[in-house]
Amino acid sequence: MSLIIPVLAISCWPKDYEETGIIVVNNGLENHVQMRFFSDGLPSGQKIVSKTGKGEIFRGKDTARIVVINQILQADSIVMIFDNKRIEKHYLYTYEPVGHSLFNSDSYQHDGNTSTYTIDAKNYENAELCDGPCQ
């Protein structure tokens, strides 16, 4: 009986209290950008998305009482590869790269329930050169 009441309370949670969070990642560069998503070191979620030139590269949303960026991204680390020559790594638990992490809400422009991250020259400059093709 004590288990039934919490289950009923959760299942009857009014939809008015839920928030839909939308995460958009835009490529603000003319370069080809590939994003690879990982969870515990294994490919996760979208796995790989890519875009050459400016425009939307990723869009995800979640409906929850508390919208969490990493749940929408379905990853704990993300690798961005530029033109298969440079690589930038983003990590959930350390918010790296500092000041421009895909996992840090402060790195996004917020407009209502939509949060937008734009890949820009700072990402490209932070990216390390690969020794051969980026993996």
Q: What is the pLDDT of residues 53-103, one digit of tens each?
A: 999 999 988 876 665 787 778 888 999 999 999 999 999 888 778 888 998
Q: What is the pLDDT of residues 99-133, one digit of tens each?
A: 889 988 899 999 988 999 999 999 999 999 998 88
Q: How far apart are CA 58 and CA 117, in angstroms?
A: 10
DSSP assignments along 22-34, one per residue: EEEEEE-SSSEEE
Whole-number pLDDT of residue 51: 92
In the chain, domain spans: 17-129
The count of residues in the chain is 135
pTM: predicted TM-score of the whole model, two decimal places: 0.79
**102 touches 90 (CB < 8 A):** yes
Question: CA separation (Å) from 66 to 4, 20, 25, 71, 109?
Answer: 23, 9, 20, 10, 18
The first and second tokens of residue 75, run together, are 């990853």
**pLDDT of 8 above 50:** no
